[in-house]
Amino acid sequence: MRKILLIGAGQSSSSLITYLLDKSFTENLHLTVADVSLKHVNVILNNHENSTALKLDIFNENERIAAIKNADIVISMLPAHLHLSVAKDCLTFRKNMVTASYISNEMKELNDEATKKNLIFMNEIGLDPGIDHMSAMQIIDSIRNKGGKMLLFESFTGGLVAPESDNNLWNYKFTWNPRNVVLAGQGGAAKFLQEGKYKYIPYHKLFRRTEILNIDGLENLKVMQIETL
């Protein structure tokens, strides 16, 4: 049985935990969910036979190392700045690692050692850029396979609030830390190709440059270009 260690049981972890438990029988998985507080963990796990709740203080080196050594793969759902200590332990004990955060400069510095040890350190490939880019390539490849020629391709990603829940002036609700929405733009300026021309938008103008997107059945939507080549 493959052993998965998931560290951090905040709200963002709930769906992932449910997904892994649903897959645990067919994929032969045992999921250990580690958190500083077990109250929320126990509610999610609900005594599932392929799960273990583990009380873990991420700053306690002995506890952290013991948990990581006992796993085949480690998923860190901690705040981004706490991934590094987990990643370094994964390097030491040769464990593959997945995080839900963008690649920081500190994580990049671990790439060579991870590659030499044949380890996978997979960082954020969720909706954007992950699903967005993969679905885009699926469409592009299908057009090319049919002999089509690409003249223009523009991709938008994001989530819309259900009308019955839309009760704020922004018409947008945060399902993650609002601070991280702003920080996500600090990864650098937006760089993209538009009608064959290179476009560059510096960070301080990212949230000012918007355009209107028309979707049938919905009001006009404001969208922001933050894509990076």
d(CA 127, CA 130): 5
8 Å CB contact between 92 and 116: no
* 128 given a catalytic annotation: yes
| From 72, 89, 112, 128, the catalytic residue | 128
For 62, 152, 157, the CA distances from 213, given in Å and listed in that order, are 52, 16, 12
Tally Cβ neighbours within 10 Å of residue 97: 25
CA neighbours closer than 13 Å in the CB half-sphere of residue 121: 25
192: closest CA among 216, 139, 228? 228
Continuous segment of H or E residues that includes residue 225: none
Q: Which residues are catalytic?
A: 128
